[in-house]
């Protein structure tokens, strides 16, 4: 009985063989397989089909060493994040991992403490990654300054780092303004609205605050009164929490703390007071009553950030600022039947 030696032969098939069979240069074949450089779609498909036919797999370790690449993209997560925020970062990471793997890259997770750049300094010093994605942007962020100084490719999830920084965001200010208007649509003259804000050291919270103020100024309710609380503890001194008809929270962490405070005071959410959050989570969705919230597509945030980083590394053109969609999750806490409404320009035009 004869045994085919095709597998043995194909396992020795090289990039030179691939180039010779296709009548292409070795550099063209290499760029087609790596996805870097400007290669026509037809040529790229021919190369990939031929490589698959012969079972050819490029030696990624050799490729990395030859180009002095790590084949890693570092994702920097805030060490001080509350456990309830981990779902957002997990979804971001899932999007990054899927997109990076398409170009044979891996995601290296690094935890960084506020105002402490030592973890990122160590990563840069030891060349552990080819690019960095910052998943949270702080006001006057030291990590941004460090990456600029190191001349390392990086992308920020969020906005406000400067026009020279690649950013992926959700049009936070506009989306929060439109969502606040949606939540306030049933209010009447004399009603009072409170925005309970998280730390303004986080740039996203500054965008949420600006969105809230913009919405209140354009709500069209003549005697609507509103206020901002930047410290949740200050509310414990409020003798009459029932005075607020609508309470908007900067994120799910703040909102969960507020809900607990209202429960202790015997204030019924959805009837005595309406509550909503500018950031959604499964905990708000499963709360009783379920809390209306602005939902950002975190997975797409992550995949778009990874896509931008990969384009930087390959020398391809990339968008300096990219945006993902948001949706309004309207639930019982604002007196709504559960529904999802996509944020769109029609909502934003009301703010002009």
Structure confidence by residue, pLDDT tens digits, 60-85: 545 544 457 889 999 999 887 656 56
Dist. CA 220–CA 215, nearest whole Å: 9
Structure confidence by residue, pLDDT tens digits, 8-53: 334 467 888 888 999 988 778 877 876 655 678 888 889 888 888 8
Can you tell me the mean pLDDT for 161-177?
Answer: 90
Dist. CA 103–CA 340, nearest whole Å: 34
State how beta strands 154-157 and 106-112 pair.
unpaired
Residues 279/252, Cβ–Cβ less than 8 Å? yes
Burial 170-199 (b: 16+ CB within 10 A, else e): bbbbbbbbbbbbbbbeebeeebebbbbbbb
pLDDT of 248 higher than 80: yes
Q: pLDDT class for 163, splitting at 50, 70, 90?
A: confident
Which pLDDT score is estimated for 261? Answer: 92
Please state, rounded to an integer, the average pLDDT across all residues of the chain: 84
Structure confidence by residue, pLDDT tens digits, 101-110: 999 999 999 9
| Claim: this prediction has a pTM higher than 0.85 | no
Tokens of 348: 């934003």
What DSSP assignment string belongs to 19-37?
A: HHHHT--HHHHHHHHHT-S
């Amino acid at each position: 009985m004869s045994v085919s030696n095709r597998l043995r032969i194909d396992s020795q098939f090289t990039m030179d063989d691939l180039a010779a069979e296709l009548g292409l240069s070795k550099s063209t074949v290499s760029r087609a397989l790596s996805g870097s450089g400007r290669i026509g779609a037809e040529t790229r498909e021919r190369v990939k089909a031929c490589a698959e036919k012969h079972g050819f797999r490029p030696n990624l370790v050799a490729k990395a060493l030859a180009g002095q690449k790590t084949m890693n993209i570092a994702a920097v997560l805030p060490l001080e994040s509350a456990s309830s925020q981990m779902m957002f970062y997990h979804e971001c990471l899932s999007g990054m991992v899927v997109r990076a793997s398409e170009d044979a890259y891996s995601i290296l997770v690094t935890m960084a403490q506020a105002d402490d750049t030592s973890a990122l300094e160590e990563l840069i010093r030891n060349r552990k990654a080819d690019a960095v994605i910052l998943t949270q942007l702080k006001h006057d962020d030291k990590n941004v300054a460090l990456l600029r100084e190191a001349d390392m490719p990086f992308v920020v999830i969020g906005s406000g780092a400067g026009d020279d920084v690649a950013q992926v965001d959700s049009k936070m200010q506009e989306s929060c303004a439109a969502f606040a208007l949606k939540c306030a649509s049933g209010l009447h003259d004399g009603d009072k609205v409170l925005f309970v804000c998280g730390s303004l050291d986080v740039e996203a919270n500054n965008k949420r605050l600006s969105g809230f103020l913009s919405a209140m100024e354009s709500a069209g309710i003549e005697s609507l009164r509103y206020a901002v609380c930047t410290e949740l503890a200050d509310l414990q001194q409020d003798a009459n929490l029932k005075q607020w008809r609508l309470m908007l929270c900067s994120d799910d962490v703040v909102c969960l703390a507020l809900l607990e405070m209202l429960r202790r005071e015997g204030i019924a959410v959805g009837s005595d007071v309406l509550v909503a959050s500018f950031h959604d989570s499964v905990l708000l969705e499963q709360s009783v009553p379920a809390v209306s919230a602005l939902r950002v597509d975190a997975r797409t945030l992550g995949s778009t950030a990874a896509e931008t980083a990969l384009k930087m590394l390959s020398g391809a053109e990339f968008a300096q600022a990219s945006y993902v969609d948001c949706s309004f999750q309207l639930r019982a806490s604002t007196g709504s039947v559960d529904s999802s409404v996509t944020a769109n320009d029609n909502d934003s035009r009301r703010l002009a």
